Structure 1
Amino acid sequence: METVDALRDLEQINAMKNYLMEHSYRDYLLFVVGINTGLRISELLLIKVKELFNGDGEMKDFYHYSELESEKRKSVYLNKRVKEAVNSYLDQVNSEQQIYLFQSRKFKQPITRQQAYRIIHDAAVKVGIEGKIGTNSLAKTFGYHAFKQGVSIALLQKHFNHSTPSETLKFLGITKEDLITTQIDVNL
């Protein structure tokens, strides 16, 4: 499996969002949920619409799931961008027929990992992003930007289920120079 890169530049992230939104709102949603939750593509594709909402029809603040490898229960925060994107998408589709959030247009199954790769990779190529971009870039982008905003490597290590901090740093593509330039501003 080829190693892919995180999207480090906010302009590139916005270019990807704009491109995907113009071509398919479902594909835009895949990108937005991926970069805002850090879930693996296999976990993203298994999200069922009903799992995102409580009994009152309100969107939950956390998505709870069982990790595929360990079957441990985990949770990810659904921020404002994710909630807006999900609600906008569900307004555009027949939500009664929508079992999976990233459902195939032909079948009542989620899109495949290969289709998700094509979506992300092709969008990156179309907007002129150089480097290796694939589905794992979504989680790496989440982790990279969380780290740059001051989230501890220990929390990210736990989120990604890595065994060591150095494994997480390598996964995110964090170099010694990045470690030195990370700024934490408590702004007291």
Structure 2
Amino acid sequence: MNMTYPLKDKKQIDMVKLYLKSKSIRNFLLFTIGISSALRISDILSLRISQIYDGHKATDFIDVKEKKTGKSKRFATSSNLQSAIKIFIKQYKPTQDEYVFISRKGSNKPITRQRAVQILTEALDMCGLSNINFGSHGMRKTFAYHCWKKGTDITYLMRILNHSSPKEVLHYISVEQEELDDIYVNLNL
């Protein structure tokens, strides 16, 4: 399995969002949930409409039972995520029991993990970011990286990601020596 990396530049994230939004609101929502939740792709693809939309508005929280760990996870929906959900609901008008990322093949099943990777790979390619090995796990890493950059306590990230040490988190989000050097320079005591 190849190592995947986060999108470290906010401009890159914005380019991918803009591209996906212009092509498919469903795929735009897939990316937005991925970078807003730290969920694994298997948990994203198993989401049902009732978990993200209460019948009148986007939910304030999304509750899932993680497939990998069996643990319950609850996370608040940001305003960006709520906006993406609203756009999605308005366009698709799904029923509460449907999968969010339903396959267009008419199978009443969600898209596959492989299809999600194809969607993300195409988006990065079209945005000139094909040099980044992103994949579906890159969304989770992007969330964690930007939390870290904004100063989120590493112990919270350990809990969110279910990691056992700060070293594991920093390796996971691909913190480079250059970024560590910036900490010293920017502190400037």
Partner of residue 110, structure 1: 110
SS class of match (2:74):
strand
2:160 aligns to what SS in structure 1? helix
TM-score (norm 2): 0.89
What is the SS of the residue equivalent to 2:167?
helix
2:53 & 2:123 partners in 1: Cα distance? Answer: 29
Residue 153 of structure 2 aligns with which residue?
Answer: 152
Q: Tell me the equivalent position of 1:173.
A: 174
Residue 176 of structure 2 aligns to which amino acid in structure 1? T
RMSD: 1.8
| Paired AA for residue 43 in structure 2 | E
Change (3 A) 1:182 1:35: farther
Name which of structure 1's ranges 169-178 and 72-81 shifts more when overlaid on structure 2. Answer: 169-178
Query: For residues 123-142 of structure 1, what are the structure 2 equivalents within 5 Å?
Result: 123-129=123-129, 130-142=131-143
C-alpha change, 1:46 and 1:125, in structure 2 (3 Å) is: same
Partner of 2:187: none
Contact 2:64 2:72 in 1 (8 A): yes
How far the C-alpha of 1:100 sits from its partner, in A, is: 0.9
Q: Which residue of 1 aligns with 2:33?
A: 33
Is the CA contact (8 Å cut-off) linking 1:156 and 1:168 kept in structure 2? Answer: yes
Does 98-107 or 12-21 show the bigger shift? 98-107
Hey, which bits of structure 1, 4+ residues long, moved more than 2 A?
56-60, 175-183
Find the aligned partners of 2:183 and 2:85 in 1 and give their Cα distance. Answer: 32
How far apart in 2 are the matches of 1:126 and 1:27?
A: 14
Q: Which amino acid aligns with 2:51?
A: E
Q: How high is the sequence identity, in percent, across the aligned residues?
A: 33
- Flag the 1:98–1:27 CA change in 2: closer, same or farther, 3 A: farther
Question: 2:66 is matched with which residue?
Answer: 67
Distance 1:22 1:182 in 2: 37
Distance 1:169 1:66 in 2: 25
Q: 5+ unaligned residues in a row in structure 2: which ranges? A: 185-189
Q: Are the equivalent residues in 1 in contact too, given 2:58–2:85 (CA < 8 A)?
A: no
Aligned to 1:186: none
Note if contact 2:49-2:95 (Cα within 8 Å) is conserved in structure 1.
Answer: no
- Using the TM superposition, give the Cα deviation of residue 14 of structure 1 relative to its aligned residue in structure 2, in angstroms: 1.1
Shift of 1:38: 1.3
Deviation digits for residues 85-115 of structure 1 (CA, Å, limit 9, x no counterpart): 0111111013128711111122211110000
Distance 2:74 2:93 in 1: 27
Question: 3-state DSSP class of the match of 1:74?
Answer: strand
d(CA) in 2 for partners of 1:53, 1:17? 21
The question of whether the paired residues in 2 share the 8 Å contact of 1:32 and 1:85 is answered with yes
Structure 1: tracts of 5 or more residues without a match: 184-188
- Give the structure-1-normalised TM-score: 0.90
1:91 aligns to 2:75 (yes or no): no
8 A Cα contact 1:150 1:182, kept in partner:
no
How many residue pairs end up in the alignment? 182
